[in-house]
Amino acid sequence: MELSLSFRFVDDDINDKLIGLVKKARVKHAVDGRGIIHYSPADEEKVENDLIASLRNRLFASWQVLSCPQDWTELYKRYMSRHDIPFHEELIGHEVCFLIPRKYRPSLWKLTAQKKHREIGIAR
């Protein structure tokens, strides 16, 4: 079975808990030197819907996963930090994503203006 899917909580303690859950569930997997868990598409439902979701549920009672273009990652982190929006970083595949409480509405965040100002060197 090809281990073509991958996931990692950036927080090492949370990621270690996930690795323990994956081992306990006897899911065929590999953990690379950076702590990224690689697993098979055949185990996708178990890993993502049961194991990863169980940890997400412990972090936030109601949550959502926010993805963004790679060059916007730092902008999103700054925005969430500035606005006291709690978040946890995740690596899903090769992309950084953010786990945030469901009550926040990223589609309403005014990031495009900030991004344009940053690109032309205007401090905000």
More confident residue, 117 or 53: 53
Task: Give me the pLDDT at residue 110, please.
Answer: 81
Strand-strand pairing, 88-92 and 37-39: unpaired
Task: Give me the pLDDT at residue 13, please.
Answer: 98
Task: Give me the pLDDT at residue 124, please.
Answer: 41
Section 4-23 average pLDDT: 98
- Tens-place pLDDT, residues 29-70: 999 999 999 999 999 999 999 999 999 999 999 999 999 889
**Closest Cα partner for 75 from 112, 121, 108, 100?**
112
Section 115-122 average pLDDT: 44
The lowest-confidence range among 3-12, 69-78, 90-99 is 69-78
Q: Was domain 62-124 assigned CATH 3.30.1490?
A: no
The ranges assigned to domains in the chain are: 1-59, 62-124
- Tens-place pLDDT, residues 79-110: 999 999 999 999 999 899 999 999 999 988 88
